[in-house]
């Protein structure tokens, strides 16, 4: 874990900057700075860290499950499935509690991710670029279905909110569900060795004594809950689960148990940095963190596709 304290210091400095930067001037003597920090700035900073860490860890699980480094949970229909669940519960019980909405979104996200996992078993593995393309098409179909359902029920504005991950609306009392991600991170650490075996493929994993189906369901369950919590609280954040695991694995190798803390930390750093950048690029206006991160993530995704093509071409 050499270098980890330095990385934590970097995260702490970003967190401090996040507390100080915003449209509201904390040094205004007519303003209660403590109230602004407690109600808005601290929850926003913590939410960005937790969302980034959770999405990055979810990316590791999915990539190991389908044995493909170019797959991201955000690109295989998981957020779209969560949105379908949110639309359904909004139509059936618009006054449902936030925890109920998150539970429904988790179930539909798990179902959507499981369908992709079944599709992945049918896709030839000779070309690693084929599976993410299938995921993009599958996610596009689910997204179109969600948009149609929202259109016919005059709920398109909700789709727009859920599709754009941004933290400006995070306040005390509206982000606490994200702490579930911390518990899931601990669970994934204990499952690390079993998830590593998933990356060897089903036959090898079963030969080594792994309960393959149980491990897949546990891993995908963690992914589904993570995405449901993030979508319900701040909206979808693309490319985090793709970018972070690839950076860490190219830097530190493939020891999953040793890499998980780094994956969580780098995910928290990058998402918080994207949120902070979105606040200062056109201050006092804000650009959503998802937009900032998507530019960086899309560029890296294209680079990964190109390097894989060169390696296999």
Per residue in 272-291, pLDDT tens?
999 999 988 887 788 999 99
The backbone torsions φ and ψ at residue 246, rounded to the nearest 5 degrees and listed phi first, read: -70, -40
Segment 148-170 mean pLDDT:
85
Q: What homologous superfamily is domain 49-307 in, according to CATH?
A: ABC transporter involved in vitamin B12 uptake, BtuC (1.10.3470.10)
> For the chain, what are the domain ranges?
49-307
**Distance (Å, whole) CA 42 – CA 57:** 23
Average pLDDT of the segment spanning 23-46: 79
Residue 30 has pLDDT above 70, yes or no: no
155 touches 87 (CB < 8 A): yes
Cβ neighbours of residue 189 closer than 8 Å, sequence gap 6 or more: 257, 260
How many of the other CB atoms lie within 10 Å of CB of 82? Answer: 34
- In the predicted model, is pLDDT for residue 312 greater than 70? no
Residue 51's pLDDT band (cuts 50, 70, 90): very high
Q: Is the pLDDT of residue 296 over 50?
A: yes
Region 156-176: mean pLDDT is 83
Rounded to the nearest 10 degrees, what angle do helices 289-312 and 240-252 cross at? 50
Q: What pLDDT sits at residue 128?
A: 77
* Rounded mean pLDDT, 133-140: 90
Nearest to 295 by CA among 281, 274, 266, 269: 274
Percentage of the chain with pLDDT > 90? 26
* Position 210 confidence tier, pLDDT thresholds 50, 70, 90: confident
Mean pLDDT of 168-197: 87
- Stretch 12-34: mean pLDDT: 78
Q: Are 229 and 67 in contact (CB under 8 A)?
A: no
pLDDT higher than 50, residue 313:
no
C-alpha to C-alpha distance for 6 and 218, rounded to whole angstroms: 33
Determine the 3-state secondary structure of 154 from DSSP: coil
Q: What is the pLDDT of residues 58-92, one digit of tens each?
A: 999 988 888 888 888 888 889 999 999 999 999 99
Q: Picking from 8-12, 23-27, 35-39, 241-245, which range would have the lowest pLDDT averaged per residue?
A: 23-27
Give residue for tokens 């789709």: 159
> Mean pLDDT over all residues of the chain?
85
Kindly state the average pLDDT of the residues 141-165.
87
């Amino acid at each position: 874990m050499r270098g980890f304290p330095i990385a934590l210091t970097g995260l702490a400095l970003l967190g401090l900057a996040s507390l100080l930067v915003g449209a509201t001037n904390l040094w205004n003597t007519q303003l209660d700075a403590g109230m602004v920090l407690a109600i808005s700035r601290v929850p926003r900073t913590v939410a960005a860290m937790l969302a980034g860490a959770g999405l990055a860890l979810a990316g590791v699980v999915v990539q190991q499950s389908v044995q493909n480094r170019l797959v991201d949970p955000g690109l295989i229909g998981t957020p779209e499935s969560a949105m379908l669940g949110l639309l359904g519960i909004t139509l059936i019980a618009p006054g449902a509690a936030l925890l109920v909405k998150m539970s429904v979104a988790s179930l539909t996200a798990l179902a959507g991710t499981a369908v992709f996992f079944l599709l992945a078993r049918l896709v030839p593995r000779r070309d690693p670029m084929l599976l993410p393309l299938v995921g993009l098409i599958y996610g596009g179909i689910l997204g179109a279905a969600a948009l149609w359902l929202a259109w016919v029920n005059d709920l398109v504005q909700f789709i727009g909110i859920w599709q754009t991950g941004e933290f400006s609306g995070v306040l005390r009392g509206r982000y606490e569900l994200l702490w579930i991600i911390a518990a899931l991170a601990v669970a994934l650490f204990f499952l690390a060795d079993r998830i590593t075996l998933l990356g060897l493929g089903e036959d090898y994993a079963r030969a080594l004594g792994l309960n393959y189906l149980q491990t897949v369901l546990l891993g995908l369950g963690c992914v589904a809950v993570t995405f449901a919590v993030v979508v319900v609280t701040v909206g979808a954040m693309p490319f985090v689960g793709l970018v972070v695991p690839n950076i860490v694995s190219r830097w530190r190798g493939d020891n999953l148990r040793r890499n998980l803390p780094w994956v969580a930390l780098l995910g928290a750093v990058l998402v918080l940095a994207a949120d902070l950048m979105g606040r200062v690029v056109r201050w006092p206006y804000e650009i959503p963190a998802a937009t900032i991160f998507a530019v960086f993530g899309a560029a890296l995704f294209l680079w990964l596709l190109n390097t894989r093509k060169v390696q296999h071409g």
